Amino acid sequence: MRTIRTACVVAVTTMLACGGDDPIAYDDLPTALAEALCSYAYRCCDAAEIADQFGSFDPPITDEASCRVALTGFYQEVVGDDPAVASGRIHYDGDVAASCVAALRGATCGSSNQVFRDQCAAVFVGAVATGGACADNDECASGLCDQAAGAAEGSCATPPTAGMACVDEACADGAYCEAQPTGGGLCVATLADGGLCTSGPQCQSGYCDDAGRCGPRPPSMTCDGV
């Protein structure tokens, strides 16, 4: 579940989708994710892109049916039976999941990443208030679990703002953590379009182009239906 709730680590999870306008039950999420993702992939990706995204699966994915079987199992591992959801530390919203699905099913090829960022980020949200016990950043409404090294749990905290020391390399919205020559990190305000950058987190847009400037994120060049 961490893969879906936070930054997408692998290509298959950037196309988050479920499957309809009615609320999607948490237990039904793995199957719904697999059906929507495979439908999108076989509608929009060419053979090379499918091989690139799904090449690590064993047995291999050879068609949409085998894609659904493989990804159902994958999402059962990723989002199924999370104790933080069961305990109420993380809230799953079936209505938001359904809206996410509807948006993805209506998306044009190549736009799934943008749909994910705009429509799917709040499928899972932290429910623990500041000061409450937590085991992971995802459990906190603030997005930060202040946890001592090696400790099983910490407490939810307000992320530091620009000018303050980073906590676990985290900063509040509108700032990023910049490593300091003397060690540690300092929260620095994110840069507007045109600002000099070396990585996406430095930019308000989240995108640093090849010329080292913050700017709008370009349309996806993968799975664009071509």
Looking at the structure, do residues 172 and 69 belong to the same domain, yes or no?
A: no
- Domain of 172 in residue numbering reads as 160-215
Write out pLDDT tens, residues 106-115: 778 988 788 8
Helix (H, G, I), strand (E, B) or coil at 64: helix
Other CB atoms within 10 Å distance of the CB of residue 198: 8
Q: What per-residue confidence (pLDDT) applies to 1?
A: 44
In a domain, 110, yes or no: yes
Give dist(CA 148, CA 21) in Å, integer.
Answer: 42
CB 135 within 8 A of CB 84: yes
In a domain, 147, yes or no: no
Write out pLDDT tens, residues 36-58: 888 888 999 999 999 998 999 99
Helix (H, G, I), strand (E, B) or coil at 91: strand
Tell me how many domains the chain contains.
2
- Its pTM surpasses 0.85: no
Looking at the structure, do residues 77 and 22 belong to the same domain, yes or no?
A: yes
Looking at the structure, do residues 120 and 172 belong to the same domain, yes or no?
A: no
In a domain, 67, yes or no: yes
Looking at the structure, do residues 164 and 208 belong to the same domain, yes or no?
A: yes
Looking at the structure, do residues 104 and 209 belong to the same domain, yes or no?
A: no
Extract the tokens encoding 223: 């799975």
Looking at the structure, do residues 120 and 177 belong to the same domain, yes or no?
A: no
- Partner residues linked to 189 by β-bridges: 175
